[in-house]
Every structure is written in C-alpha cells, then in structure tokens.
Amino acid sequence: MAFNMKIGFIGLGKMGNRMVGKLASAGHEVVVWNRTESVSKDLQREISSITVSSGIKDLIESLPTPRVIWIMISHKGVDEVLREVKQYLEKGDVVIDGGNSHFLDTEKRFNEFEKLGIHFLGVGTSGGILAEKNGYPFMVGGAIKGYEIIKPVLDSLSKPNGGYQYFGTGGAGHFVKMVHNGIEYGIMQSLGEGFEVLEKSKYNFNLLDIAKLWQKGTLVSGFMLDRAKDALEKNEKLDDIVGSIDASGEALWTIEEAKKEQVDVEIIERSLEYRIRSKKDKKIQNSFTARMVAALRREFGGHSVKEKTV
C-alpha cells in the first residue's frame, strides 16, 4: 500500500498518541481532536506535521471524501462521540472504533451506520505501547468496503512486525479481540504463578537469569515472557510494587460469551477472580504472582502500578 491518506483521529491517550505519531512518520496527513485541548497541542509540539482541529465538526470538514475517522477512546465514551460524528458524515465515509468495545455494541453501531451508507469498522487493536515500534496487530470487523479503503493506514501502522486481518461483518473483529484479551489474562496469571514457585523455592534462583534463558526458544518464550524479563531487569524482587491488579472488562465479556456457548473457560475465569480479589486481599497484594501480573501490565500497556510505601 504505497499511497498516503488524510485521516481524522479522535482520542490521544497512551495508544492514540503513539498511533498518530506512527501515521505521521509514515507520511499520512493526520488531523486530530482530543477532548482536552492541551493534549492535542502538546502532541503537535512533538509532531509538527499534524493538524489540531477545534472540534469534531472542524475535523470532519477538513477531510477529503471518502472521509476516514479513527476513534481511539474508552468504550464507555464511544456512543457520545459517534452521535456527534454522525451529524457531519456522508454516504461512503468510514468510521473506525479502534478501542476495546463490546462486540454486541459494535454490532449495533455497524447496523446503524450501514443504514446511512457509512462504513463502520470495529478494529481490535493489540500490541500495547510497544507496538509503535514493533507494529500493531489489528483484528478487523465491519464493512468490507471500509476495510478496503483503510488498508494503507493499517499497512503503515502494522509495520514492521504487526499485521491485520478482516474477520467478517458486524462485531467480528471486536469478538476476536475480546477472546485475545481473555487468553492474555490466563497467560499473565500463569507466568506470575510460575515465577512465584521459583521465587519461593529453596534454590535461591536468579529469576532474571531464568527469564533470559526461557526467551531462547523454549515453549514459554514470547511477547509476555519478554515483558517479564523487562520487569525483572528493573527490580528482580518486584518488591516496590503492590499487587493490586485492574481488570478492564474483556475477560468478563469472554466468560459471559463462553457460558452462552457452553464452553468451560476455567483458566480465564479464575484469572479474573484473582484480579478482583487482589483489589482488597492484602495477602494477594503481597504475593509475587500479583506483583508480577501488575508489573506485566505496566510493561506492555503503560498501565500505572500501585507503588509500595516504606
């Protein structure tokens, strides 16, 4: 996909601002809007090629047709933004929800926009804050015509090592991302538990050495183990962290859908329960398992951790 596009981008959080930077560096023209204007202005000082709009109407009117709008905000605020976006879009335009929306909400939005002739896409976005360098993986669902239009954008954002795939209409992309995040909970929990068994053994293991060796072609090597290594390099004991672990919602949605499908997802379910208990249970908060899971979230997603006070 060799040609560049002009795209509107709404939402400049931890993921959004990095995606805008990657698009701009690839030569795309990016017009941005963020509810807190100072965030947009700060980003423009870092990336002089982007344009800051005064509002959603201004952003949309500055784009050529077919207009492409990428929304990168919390799922709780998507409908409010879409109500305003809808006022100014025309038939043939493309709207992308790149956040972690529930697939049934995406299904509903897809149907609403389809009636207007507007191509709505629900795009599950993974890779965390490291994807700015490594490339984003995108799980795409919604209007196939919209997908074809935005391929140059997906191509730029996925380089060098990411990727993108279209999975079907409606909420298909967000369904795939939902299950991805449920699996993620189980992987993180397993790593935390395994390292705690090592940490409590009689052998006085160097956990960083173990993580580094496991990276070298073992069956548990991969992205999340790499993040465990990064966390252990900062502090092998992780004793500066309180193991209070947030849960963002997708694991619960996976469990709910699994029950409808009569699928047993015990690992995902117990991983979520552990996170919920970690918010109040001091024993869990002090465990190496919980501290590792919290540290992993910090490493791949830039999520805040509760620091231990002396």
Instruction: Name the burial class of residue 128, with classes exposed (0-12), middle (13-18) and buried (19+) by CB atoms within 10 angstroms of its CB.
Output: buried
User: Shortest CA distance to 175 belongs to which of 124, 132, 128, 218?
Assistant: 124
Q: Is 177 a catalytic residue?
A: yes
What is the amino acid identity at position 71?
I
Give the relative orientation of helices 207-214 and 172-199 as an angle to the nearest 10 degrees.
140
Strand residue runs (E) in the chain: 6-10, 29-33, 51-52, 68-71, 94-97, 119-125, 137-142, 163-166, 241-242, 306-307
Cα(283)–Cα(221) distance, rounded to whole angstroms? Answer: 29
Q: Is 279 a catalytic residue?
A: no
- CA dihedral of 194, 199, 203, 205, whole degrees rounded to 10: 90
**Residue of 107, 177, 193, 257 marked active site:** 177
Q: Cα 6 to the chain's mean position, in Å? A: 23
Here the tokens at position 294 are 């919290």
**Residue of 132, 184, 257, 269 marked active site:** 184
Q: Could you tell me whether strands 306-307 and 51-52 are parallel, antiparallel, or unpaired per DSSP bridges?
A: unpaired
Cβ partners under 8 Å of residue 257, min gap 6: 175, 178
User: Known catalytic residues?
Assistant: 177, 184
